[in-house]
Structure 1
Amino acid sequence: MSEGETLNITRLPFQPLPSVVPPDSYDAHRSKQTPLVIDNGSTNLRFGFATSSTPRTGLNVVAKYKERRTNKPLLLFGEGIEAESGAKAQAKTPWEGDVLLNFDALENALDYAFIHLGIDTPTVDHPVIMTERLSSPLHSRALTSELMFEQYAVPSLAYCVDSVMSFYHNNIPSPPIPFTSDGLVVSFNSASTSVIPLLNGKGIMSHAKRIPWGATQATEFLLKLVQLKYPTFPTRVTTAQTSWMLQNFCEFAIDYPALLRELKDPLKLRASERIVQFPFILPVIEEKTEEELARIAERKKEQGRKLQEIAAKSRMEKLVQKESDLQHLLSLRERREEESKKDWAATLQEEGFENDAALDGAIKKLESNLKRARKKEADGEDMEDEPPSFPLIDVPDADLDEDGLKEKKKQRLLRAGYEARERARKEKEREREEREAEERKEEEERDRDLAGWATKLRKEHDVRSLQSYSFSERKSIVLTALTDRKSAASQARMKSIANLAADERVPKKRRKNGGEDMFGADDADWQIYRKINTTAPSSDEEDDYANLQTVEQKLLAYDPTFTAEHTHASLSSQRSALMQAFRPEYAEGDVEGKTRIHLNVERWRVPEAWFQPSMAGVDSAGLGEVIQTVLARFTDTEKGRLVKNVFVTGGPSQIPNLLPRLNATLRPILPPEMPLDIVRAADPVLDAWRGMADFARTDELKRVGVTKAEYEEWGGERIKRWWGGNWNASVPI
Structure 2
Amino acid sequence: MEVDESNITFLPIQPLPTVQVPATDYDDHRDAHTPLCIDNGSTHLRFGFCTSDTPRTGINMVAKYKERKTNKPLLLFGEGIDVEGGARSQAKTPWEGDVLLNFDALENALDYAFIHLGIDTPAVDHPILMTERLASPLHSRALTSELMFEQYSVPSLAFCVDSVMSFYHNNLPSPPVPFRDDGLVVSFNTASTSVIPILDGKGIMSHAKRINWGASQATDYLLKLIQLKYPTFPSRVTPTQCNWMLQNFCEFSPDYPALLRKLKDPLNLRASERIIQFPYQVPVTEEKTEEELARIAERKKEQGRKLQELAAKSRMEKLVQKETDLAHLLSVRERKEEESKREWADTLREEGFANDAALEAAIKKLEADLKKARKKEADGEDAENEEPPSFPLVDVPDEDLDEEGLKEKKKQKLMKAGYEARERAKREKEREREERAAEEKREEEERDRDLSGWATKMRREQETLMNRIKERNRRRAALTDRKSAASQARMKSIANLAADDRVPKKRRKAGGEDMFGADDADWAIYRKINTAAASSDEEEDFAALAAVEQKLLAHDPTFTEEHTHAALSSQRSALMSAFRPAYDEGDPQGKARIHLNIERWRACEAWFSPSMAGIDSAGLGEVLQNVLARFSDADKGRLVNNVFLTGAPSQLPGLRDRLHATLRPILPPEMPLEIVRAADPVLDAWRGMADFAKTDEFKKVGVTRAEYEEWGGERVKRWWGGNWNASVPLKED
Equivalent positions of 1:391-406 (< 5 A) are 391=393, 393-395=395-397, 397=399, 400=400, 404=401
Q: What is the CA distance between 1:100 and its match in structure 2?
A: 0.8
After superposition, the C-alpha distances for 1:512-531 in whole angstroms (9 at most, x for unaligned) are 44432211112132244567
Which amino acid counterpart does residue 249 of structure 1 have in structure 2? Answer: F
CA contact (8 A) 2:375 2:428 kept: no
Which amino acid counterpart does residue 188 of structure 1 have in structure 2? Answer: F
Partners in 2 of 1:408 and 1:329 — Cα distance?
31
Aligned pair partner of 1:608 in 605, 608, 612: 605
Structure 1 match to 2:272 = 272
1:525 and 2:522 aligned: yes
Partners in 1 of 2:472 and 2:41 — Cα distance?
51
The verdict on how the C-alpha distance between 1:553 and 1:618 changes in structure 2, with shifts beyond 3 A counting, is closer
Structure 2 match to 1:539 = 536
Secondary structure of 1:29's aligned partner: coil
Secondary structure of 1:187's aligned partner: strand
Structure 2 match to 1:726 = 723
Aligned pair partner of 2:690 in 679, 689, 693: 693
State the aligned residue count: 720
Aligned pair partner of 1:570 in 543, 567, 584: 567
CA contact (8 A) 1:277 1:595 kept: yes
CA contact (8 A) 1:81 1:87 kept: yes
Which amino acid counterpart does residue 102 of structure 2 have in structure 1? Answer: N
Q: What is the CA distance between 1:4 and its match in structure 2?
A: 6.0
The verdict on how the C-alpha distance between 1:457 and 1:290 changes in structure 2, with shifts beyond 3 A counting, is farther
Partners in 1 of 2:239 and 2:157 — Cα distance?
35
Structure 1: segments with no counterpart, 5+ residues = 443-450
Secondary structure of 2:92's aligned partner: coil
After superposition, the C-alpha distances for 1:466-521 in whole angstroms (9 at most, x for unaligned) are 34312233336657998999999899878877875664431232224443221111
Aligned pair partner of 2:669 in 658, 672, 677: 672
Secondary structure of 2:28's aligned partner: helix
Equivalent positions of 1:105-124 (< 5 A) are 105-124=105-124
Which amino acid counterpart does residue 60 of structure 1 have in structure 2? Answer: N
Aligned pair partner of 1:707 in 699, 704, 723: 704
Structure 2 match to 1:582 = 579
Q: What is the CA distance between 1:728 and its match in structure 2?
A: 2.7
CA contact (8 A) 1:182 1:198 kept: yes
Structure 1 stretch displaced more, 65-74 or 520-529: 65-74
Partners in 2 of 1:326 and 1:675 — Cα distance?
90
The verdict on how the C-alpha distance between 1:663 and 1:423 changes in structure 2, with shifts beyond 3 A counting, is same
Structure 1 match to 2:442 = none
Partners in 2 of 1:640 and 1:330 — Cα distance?
95
Secondary structure of 2:673's aligned partner: coil
Q: What is the CA distance between 1:59 and its match in structure 2?
A: 0.7
Structure 1 stretch displaced more, 183-192 or 82-91: 82-91
Secondary structure of 1:185's aligned partner: strand
Partners in 1 of 2:327 and 2:452 — Cα distance?
50
The verdict on how the C-alpha distance between 1:198 and 1:359 changes in structure 2, with shifts beyond 3 A counting, is closer
Q: What is the CA distance between 1:56 and its match in structure 2?
A: 0.9
CA contact (8 A) 2:393 2:409 kept: no
Partners in 1 of 2:457 and 2:71 — Cα distance?
79
Q: What is the CA distance between 1:188 and its match in structure 2?
A: 1.1
Secondary structure of 2:144's aligned partner: helix
Aligned pair partner of 2:466 in 465, 469, 477: 469
Which amino acid counterpart does residue 301 of structure 2 have in structure 1? Answer: K
Structure 1 match to 2:210 = 210
Partners in 1 of 2:312 and 2:533 — Cα distance?
27
Q: What is the CA distance between 1:254 and its match in structure 2?
A: 1.6
The verdict on how the C-alpha distance between 1:17 and 1:407 changes in structure 2, with shifts beyond 3 A counting, is same
Structure 2 match to 1:228 = 228
Q: What is the CA distance between 1:84 and its match in structure 2?
A: 2.8
CA contact (8 A) 1:131 1:160 kept: yes
Partners in 2 of 1:300 and 1:259 — Cα distance?
52
Which amino acid counterpart does residue 627 of structure 1 have in structure 2? Answer: L
Structure 1 stretch displaced more, 182-191 or 412-421: 412-421
Structure 2 match to 1:9 = 8
Q: What is the CA distance between 1:543 and its match in structure 2?
A: 2.2
Structure 1 match to 2:181 = 181
Equivalent positions of 1:197-596 (< 5 A) are 197-322=197-322, 325=325, 349-352=349-352, 362=362, 365-366=365-366, 369-370=369-370, 373=373, 387=389, 390-391=392-393, 393-395=395-397, 397=399, 400=400, 404=401, 410-427=407-424, 465-475=462-472, 503-529=500-526, 539-546=536-543, 548-549=545-546, 568-596=565-593
After superposition, the C-alpha distances for 1:135-163 in whole angstroms (9 at most, x for unaligned) are 22221111111211222222222211111
Q: What is the CA distance between 1:71 and its match in structure 2?
A: 3.7
Structure 2 match to 1:446 = none
Secondary structure of 1:569's aligned partner: helix
Structure 1 stretch displaced more, 583-592 or 242-251: 583-592
CA contact (8 A) 1:42 1:95 kept: yes
The verdict on how the C-alpha distance between 1:464 and 1:9 changes in structure 2, with shifts beyond 3 A counting, is farther
1:630 and 2:632 aligned: no
Structure 1 stretch displaced more, 659-668 or 368-377: 368-377
Structure 2 match to 1:154 = 154
Secondary structure of 2:682's aligned partner: coil
Partners in 1 of 2:594 and 2:483 — Cα distance?
32
Structure 2 match to 1:448 = none
CA contact (8 A) 1:160 1:725 kept: yes
The verdict on how the C-alpha distance between 1:55 and 1:558 changes in structure 2, with shifts beyond 3 A counting, is same
Q: What is the CA distance between 1:686 and its match in structure 2?
A: 0.3
The verdict on how the C-alpha distance between 1:374 and 1:117 changes in structure 2, with shifts beyond 3 A counting, is same
After superposition, the C-alpha distances for 1:395-415 in whole angstroms (9 at most, x for unaligned) are 474xx5xxx476665444323
The verdict on how the C-alpha distance between 1:560 and 1:731 changes in structure 2, with shifts beyond 3 A counting, is closer
CA contact (8 A) 1:478 1:534 kept: no
The alignment's TM-score, normalised by the length of structure 1, stands at 0.85
Identity of aligned residues (%): 73
Secondary structure of 1:598's aligned partner: strand
Structure 2 match to 1:93 = 93
Partners in 1 of 2:404 and 2:419 — Cα distance?
22
Which amino acid counterpart does residue 588 of structure 2 have in structure 1? Answer: V
1:141 and 2:138 aligned: no
Partners in 1 of 2:497 and 2:660 — Cα distance?
66
Partners in 2 of 1:273 and 1:216 — Cα distance?
23
Partners in 2 of 1:715 and 1:100 — Cα distance?
19
Q: What is the CA distance between 1:571 and its match in structure 2?
A: 2.9
After superposition, the C-alpha distances for 1:414-445 in whole angstroms (9 at most, x for unaligned) are 23212123224445666888999999999xxx
Partners in 1 of 2:318 and 2:619 — Cα distance?
73
Partners in 2 of 1:612 and 1:356 — Cα distance?
65
Structure 1 stretch displaced more, 353-362 or 615-624: 353-362
Q: What is the CA distance between 1:653 and its match in structure 2?
A: 0.9
Partners in 2 of 1:486 and 1:495 — Cα distance?
13
Aligned pair partner of 2:655 in 655, 658, 661: 658
Secondary structure of 1:475's aligned partner: helix
1:165 and 2:165 aligned: yes
Which amino acid counterpart does residue 163 of structure 1 have in structure 2? Answer: S
The verdict on how the C-alpha distance between 1:479 and 1:389 changes in structure 2, with shifts beyond 3 A counting, is closer
Partners in 2 of 1:249 and 1:694 — Cα distance?
34
Partners in 1 of 2:192 and 2:243 — Cα distance?
16
Which amino acid counterpart does residue 621 of structure 2 have in structure 1? Answer: G
Which amino acid counterpart does residue 224 of structure 2 have in structure 1? Answer: K
Partners in 2 of 1:632 and 1:702 — Cα distance?
36
After superposition, the C-alpha distances for 1:219-261 in whole angstroms (9 at most, x for unaligned) are 1222222222222222221111111111122222222233233
Structure 1 stretch displaced more, 40-49 or 156-165: 156-165
Superposition CA RMSD, Å: 4.2
Secondary structure of 1:23's aligned partner: coil
Which amino acid counterpart does residue 648 of structure 1 have in structure 2? Answer: L
Partners in 1 of 2:433 and 2:352 — Cα distance?
45
Structure 2 match to 1:19 = 18
Secondary structure of 1:30's aligned partner: coil
The verdict on how the C-alpha distance between 1:553 and 1:277 changes in structure 2, with shifts beyond 3 A counting, is farther
